[in-house]
């Protein structure tokens, strides 16, 4: 298993989906989805409401068990792994509905996020803020994201746009190799969307990103490859230009008579 990931080096996909299916009773939410994401790839998944985008994310991150098919992370089959083990291997995600800790400060949110992958997370006889290394890492993360001036603000007092950015910073706290973004621009004004796009473009170029988004401006700026999902199935995959001019995609979004 481990030799496979090492010998092939950069050639091993960070994330690979092979014929992934998920049904809820009679409803096929995901049908035979195959995807391959290499280090540094920026992929987007678009599709109308109910196309199964978030379900796909929940399968990849292990919230739902897959009905059939395989999920490979760095060449290792993680199909049956629980979420927290996938995170430990280098996968992180954000949520469509902001899932921060509203009563904690920005800094405490990041501290908690970093601690998630440290073995000392089960310690109950030492104060969290006494862990120097974690504290410094949090500082560094906030500095990179230009958040240091707001580190002591309670999260519920941040603007929605700032909360969406913090959502991504928490995702970055575990030093992921692949980041799954579930509608990072959800509910943002057009000005905030531009901010978000800049923020996403400023992320480490080696980091692979899989993005679900409705805001096409964000998608076309950030992604270099787009897959269109419809009724749980990948209809088309291509460059932003190809997708933009595809007749079938327009049909899905605008409908036929």
Partner 1 sequence: MIARTLPIAVAVLALLTLPLWIGGTYYVNVTSQILFYAIFALGLNVLAGYGGLVSLGHAGLFGISSYVVGYMLQLGYGHTAAILMALAVGNVSMAIYALLSLRSTGIGFIMITLALGQILWGLAYRWISVTGGDNGINVPTRPAPFGLSLADSGNFYYATLVVFLLSVIAVAIFARSPLGAALMGTRDQPRRMNALGYHVLAIRFWACLFSGLLTSVSGILFVYYTQFISPQTLALTSSAEVLLMVISGGPGTLLGPIVGAGLVVVVKNVVSGFIERWNFLLGAIFVAIVILMPEGLVPGTVRLWRLATRKRAPAKAEIKTEGKP
Q: Which of 99, 88, 105, 86 is nearest to 168 (CA)?
A: 99
Q: Which of 61, 62, 68 is nearest to 29 (CA)?
A: 68
Q: 60 vs 234, which CB is nearer to partner 1?
A: 60
Instruction: Return the bridge partners of 22, or none.
Output: 30
| From 4, 6, 27, 63, residue interacting with partner 1 (rule: CB under 8 A) | 63
DSSP-assigned letter for residue 173: T
Q: Which of 134, 95, 141, 100 is nearest to 116 (CA)?
A: 134
Does 131 help bind partner 1 (rule: CB under 8 A)?
yes
Does 163 help bind partner 1 (rule: CB under 8 A)?
no
**64, 22 in Cβ contact below 8 A?**
yes
Angle between helices 106-115 and 160-172 (to 10 degrees): 20
| From 112, 141, 145, 168, residue interacting with partner 1 (rule: CB under 8 A) | 112
**171, 4 in Cβ contact below 8 A?**
no
Does 116 help bind partner 1 (rule: CB under 8 A)?
yes
| From 100, 106, 218, 243, residue interacting with partner 1 (rule: CB under 8 A) | 100
Residues of span 206-245 touching partner 1 by CB under 8 A: none
Q: How far is the CB of 56 from partner 1 (least distance, A)?
A: 15
Task: Please report the sign of the dihedral spanned by the C-alpha atoms of residue 56, residue 59, residue 65, residue 71.
Answer: positive
Does 102 help bind partner 1 (rule: CB under 8 A)?
yes
Segment lying near partner 1 (by CB under 8 A), choices 171-179, 196-204, 215-223, 228-236? 171-179
Q: How far is the CB of 23 from partner 1 (least distance, A)?
A: 22
Segment lying near partner 1 (by CB under 8 A), choices 18-26, 90-98, 186-194, 202-210? 90-98
Distance CA 55, CA 58 (A): 5
| From 14, 35, 37, 173, residue interacting with partner 1 (rule: CB under 8 A) | 173
| From 59, 72, 78, 170, residue interacting with partner 1 (rule: CB under 8 A) | 170
**14, 178 in Cβ contact below 8 A?**
yes
Q: How far is the CB of 157 from partner 1 (least distance, A)?
A: 16
Distance CA 78, CA 243 (A): 31
Does 113 help bind partner 1 (rule: CB under 8 A)?
yes
Does 135 help bind partner 1 (rule: CB under 8 A)?
no
Q: How far is the CB of 93 from partner 1 (least distance, A)?
A: 5
Q: Which of 98, 219, 251, 119 is nearest to 163 (CA)?
A: 98
Does 111 help bind partner 1 (rule: CB under 8 A)?
yes
Q: What angle do CA 223, 167, 46 make, to 5 degrees?
A: 30
| From 36, 77, 84, 253, residue interacting with partner 1 (rule: CB under 8 A) | 84
**List of residues contacting partner 1 (CB under 8 A):** 61, 63, 82-84, 87-88, 92-93, 95, 99-103, 108, 111-113, 115-118, 120-129, 131, 170-171, 173-174
């Amino acid at each position: 298993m481990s030799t496979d990931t090492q010998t092939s080096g950069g050639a091993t996909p960070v994330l690979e989906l092979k014929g992934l299916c998920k049904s809820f009773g009679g409803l096929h939410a995901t049908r035979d989805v195959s995807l391959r994401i290499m280090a540094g790839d920026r992929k987007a998944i678009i599709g109308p409401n109910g196309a199964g985008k978030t379900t796909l994310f929940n399968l990849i991150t292990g919230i739902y068990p897959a009905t059939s098919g395989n999920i490979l992370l760095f060449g290792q089959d993680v199909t049956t792994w629980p979420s927290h083990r996938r995170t430990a291997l280098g996968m992180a995600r954000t949520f469509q509905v902001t899932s921060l800790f509203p009563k904690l400060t920005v800094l405490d949110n990041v501290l908690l996020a970093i601690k998630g992958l440290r073995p000392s997370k089960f310690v109950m006889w030492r104060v969290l803020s006494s862990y120097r290394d974690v504290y410094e890492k949090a500082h560094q993360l906030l500095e990179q994201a230009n958040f240091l001036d707001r580190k002591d603000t309670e999260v519920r007092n941040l603007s929605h746009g700032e909360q969406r950015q913090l959502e991504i910073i928490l995702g970055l706290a575990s030093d992921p190799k692949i980041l799954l973004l579930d509608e990072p621009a959800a509910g943002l004004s057009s000005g905030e969307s531009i901010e978000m796009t800049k923020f996403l473009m400023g992320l480490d170029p080696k980091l692979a990103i899989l993005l679900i988004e409705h805001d096409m401006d964000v998608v076309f700026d950030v992604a270099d490859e787009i897959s269109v999902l419809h009724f749980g199935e990948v209809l088309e995959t291509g460059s932003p230009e190809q997708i933009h001019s595809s007749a079938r995609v327009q049909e899905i979004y605008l409908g036929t008579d």
